[in-house]
Structure 1
């Protein structure tokens, strides 16, 4: 299942989105060996590519990426932000701070190394259920701008490629995505700029992703929730 973005205004997406190839990190002390990272050779999104990632009308909400402006609340009220958005069981995950100028932002908590583009696994879903996981809501708390990086690779495609004989019994994993690239398959990623008070709702259980503050001179804190929200719950910025 490819990357599907809610796009009402292709020009608004083009204004905040670049794309690049994905490569494998080798011998970089800040990264796990084999981590997937953007090449850094960012190009402005074209109209053709904007149309290619725009979600068809039949896209299931659980697999949809939306660039949104979440409601504003005081920091001590953030745990209640998702309550009125349509999923009373939505889970507040807390906050994470990214330093300035980080090409990717997610660390391996065990050794502190960056893991690069990855799949989340909060719901621990087997292959056939992976696209039905909860989506992640993110709010950029600032003070700096940050990016959402999305790889055009979903968990099921990577799992089938890595385990062609028994993928239906597998639990798709970031390692499957790494194997996909290591086999020489080309892959693009897309970097979408998010100013303070902007955010996203995305299927991070099922889609290769990470955050970034590359080229920014201020840190950026982000708050996160998991839930099952209908498409269009929050106004789209693109």
Structure 2
């Protein structure tokens, strides 16, 4: 499955969305060698490309990207904020603070170097069961805007391309994408702007992704949950 965005207004999507190709990073001290990151030559999302990203009406909810508005957090904290929103078993997995001007935001806790665009692996599902992974729900707590960056090719397709003889026995991994891009295979990404109070639902165990604060002058914190939410359970911003 490619990247599918659930939206109602193509103009609203295009107003907050841009497109770029990705590249392999080597010999940049802030990144791991071999990391995949946007080329930084961001282009407006064309109407044609936007329509191509539109999620089919019958596509399973767990594979969709949705840009949503969440309830305002109260003094009770964030642990249970997402549970009344369609999944009683939603799991709060914490926050991440990003300083301004970061091309991508996730680092390797062992050495602090950025890992670039990556796959999550909270559910640790193999190739044949990957579609059952939980989606990630995220809320920008501010104070600044930030982006979610998403690759346009899914983990199944990349795993098959990199491991044509053994993909059914594999656990799709960030390294598959790194090998795919290093071999010169084409891969694009979109970035979607999120203001404070805005968020997303995305299959981050199935799509290459990361956050970004590139071009922003304020830091932003993001809160995250994992769960199974049906399409349109949260109000769409696009």
Query: Do they fold alike, i.e. is TM over 0.5?
Result: yes
Give per-residue Cα distances to partners, 1:173-229, cap 9 Å, x unaligned.
000011111111111100100000000000001000000000001000000000000
**C-alpha displacement of 1:154:** 1.0
**C-alpha displacement of 1:76:** 4.2
Aligned length: 238
- Compute the RMSD of aligned alpha carbons: 0.8
Partner of 1:67: 67
Q: How is 1:1-238 mapped onto 2 (pairs within 5 angstroms)?
A: 1-74=1-74, 76-238=76-238
**C-alpha displacement of 1:161:** 1.0
Aligned counterparts of 1:116 and 1:60: Cα–Cα separation in 2? 28
Aligned counterparts of 2:74 and 2:138: Cα–Cα separation in 1? 15
Task: State the TM-score, normalizing by the size of structure 1.
Answer: 0.98
Aligned counterparts of 2:73 and 2:113: Cα–Cα separation in 1? 32
Q: Which runs of 5+ in 1 are unaligned?
A: none
Give per-residue Cα distances to partners, 1:98-142, cap 9 Å, x unaligned.
010000000011111100000000000000111220000000000
Task: State the TM-score, normalizing by the size of structure 2.
Answer: 0.98
Aligned counterparts of 2:215 and 2:179: Cα–Cα separation in 1? 29
Give per-residue Cα distances to partners, 1:6-44, cap 9 Å, x unaligned.
010000000000101100101010001110100000001
Give per-residue Cα distances to partners, 1:72-106, cap 9 Å, x unaligned.
11254211111111111110001110010000000
Aligned counterparts of 1:21 and 1:169: Cα–Cα separation in 2? 29
Aligned counterparts of 1:143 and 1:89: Cα–Cα separation in 2? 29
